[in-house]
Structure 1
Amino acid sequence: MAEAQYQPLHQYYNQQQQPKTTQLAKVATAVTSGGSLLILSGLILAGTIIGLTIVTPLFVIFSPVLVPAVITAALLSLGFMSSGAFGVAAITMLTWLYRYVTGKHPVGADQLDTARHKLMNRAREIKEYGQQQISEGGTYSS
């Protein structure tokens, strides 16, 4: 019975020894990769600061040219993008209108028909009201 208790305890110590080496390898790998990435980020930061230090006077000297150029480029790109968007919207609308006219029942045709019938009914009511007012003598009362 003592042997059965001793063996699992021995296996427990072996299992504790093995993960320590695995954990040590993981920690060493993490420290190595983390340290190298930290050094790399420091070098990038230093390069950025040096680059900005060198380029800032050039930006100040050329800003009367660069700022209008950037504004012009932004407006041109905005114009082209909006033109393309309006073109796509027009093509979509014309396609929908073609399907509606040819009777292919596009999405939203029911809502359009309902709105058209409501407008026609309201116009008919206004016409009848106007004819009634004219036949009664043309007196206007609000």
Structure 2
Amino acid sequence: MADRERHPMEAAKVLIPEKGPTATQALTVAIMFPLGGLLLTLAGLTLTGSVIGLVFLAPVFLLFSPVLVPAALLMALAVAGFLASGAFGLTGLSSLGYTLKQAKGVVQRGPEQIDYGKRRMAEAAGQMGQKTKDVGQAVQSRAEEAKRT
């Protein structure tokens, strides 16, 4: 019972490391803390500027919306088309590269792979034949039991 009833400071000592931070860790914190604060300040200023700009430009967007909405849709579709074509092109090139790499690999070590594949197929066929035989025997024994009853 005495083990469980420790002083709260002893429990806190377990959480605090005995060694202090290294010089590298201290330097990292000293450099990154102000940099993080600066970036956070810039993010806040950007958000404030965006909100102010939206407040002032909302009436202009409402006035020109019959022109802006179709133009924005057209631009969005054009950008999506260019991105999709780029993605399809990269996918095609990577597929061709993969196919060529595999073709070169098969030519270099083809006979061993073909023999290995044949052995695996023969093993799989043997296993499936054994399973089929076992299932057939089980069905036959159940049918015979059903006839007896």
Q: Which category of TM-score, normalised to the shorter sequence, fits these structures?
A: 0.3 to 0.5
TM-score, normalization by structure 1:
0.47
- TM-score, normalising length: structure 2: 0.45
